[in-house]
């Protein structure tokens, strides 16, 4: 008689391979995904937000860490400028960002964003956001390039606005003048036609 389901295999029967399953209590870890914009722009003296969001298959851990690195334009070296760990933000002393950086992220909302105040040309470069949410620690960081542009002086903006406004006003005056001349010409033509009509009628009655 054959054996029942789960019973011992008969002598000589081939062994069945065991299924590869993770041990109880352990779940497979998915790669964490970090997202930043590719480029951001700011002007000298202003501020800019460096957005960083992430997705993790795990619940947000108390051991979550968020790190920002900066690589200046034309440099091969990258320095750590910000670190979030154990629920507290830490701004690194290295570099010129210590007095100009603000933490605006919220890991519970999967947000690791920072703000850079009082932008300068030396801030041009690449910023890297890296997130670890144990046990979800596998994944790639994300980079955003900051371009700091020259701020246009207010007086230049006023002059430019005045020039544009004057040009638009001149165009409106020319258009109005064209319509006025055309109106006067059409009115004169109408008066002339009425006078000619009256003259033709008078001549018609005189010669008939």
Direct distance between the N- and C-terminal alpha carbons of the chain, in angstroms, rounded to an integer = 141
Residue range 115-147, pLDDT digits in tens = 999 999 999 999 999 999 999 888 899 999 999
Identify the domain boundary among 100, 134, 149. Answer: 149
Q: Is residue 14 part of a domain?
A: no
168 in a domain, yes or no?
yes
Domain that holds residue 43: 32-149
Question: 140 with 42, same domain?
Answer: yes
pLDDT of residue 153: 55
| 12 contact partners, CB below 8 Å, separation of at least 6 | none
Q: Is 45 left (phi over 0), alpha (psi -120 to 50) or beta?
A: left
CB neighbours (10 Å) of residue 184? 10
Rounded Cα gap, residues 40 and 50, in angstroms: 8
For 170-195, the DSSP string reads: HHHHHHHHHHHHHHHHHHHHHHHHHH
User: How far is the C-alpha of 50 from the C-alpha of 93, rounded, in Å?
Assistant: 19
For residues 120 and 184, state if they share a domain.
Answer: no
> Are 63 and 157 within one domain?
no
- Write the pLDDT tens digit of every residue in 18-69: 333 344 443 444 689 999 999 999 999 999 999 999 999 899 999 999 999 9
């Amino acid at each position: 008689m054959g054996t029942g389901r789960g019973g011992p295999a008969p002598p000589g029967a081939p062994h069945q391979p065991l299924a590869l399953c993770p041990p109880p209590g352990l779940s497979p870890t998915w790669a964490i995904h970090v997202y930043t914009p590719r480029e951001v722009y700011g002007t000298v003296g202003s501020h800019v937000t460096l957005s960083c969001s992430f997705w993790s298959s795990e619940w947000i851990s108390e051991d979550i860490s968020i790190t920002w690195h900066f690589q200046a334009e034309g440099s091969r070296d990258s320095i750590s400028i910000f670190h979030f760990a154990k629920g507290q933000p830490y701004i690194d002393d290295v570099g010129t960002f210590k007095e100009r950086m603000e933490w605006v992220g919220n890991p519970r909302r999967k947000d690791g964003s920072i703000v850079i105040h009082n932008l300068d040309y030396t801030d041009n470069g690449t910023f890297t956001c890296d997130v670890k949410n144990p046990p979800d620690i596998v994944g790639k960081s994300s980079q955003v390039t900051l371009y700091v542009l020259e701020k246009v002086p207010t007086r230049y903006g006023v002059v430019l606005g005045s020039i544009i406004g004057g040009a638009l006003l001149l165009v409106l005056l020319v258009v109005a003048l064209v319509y006025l001349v055309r109106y006067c010409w059409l009115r004169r033509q109408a008066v002339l036609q009425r006078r000619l009509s009256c003259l033709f009628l008078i001549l018609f009655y005189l010669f008939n």
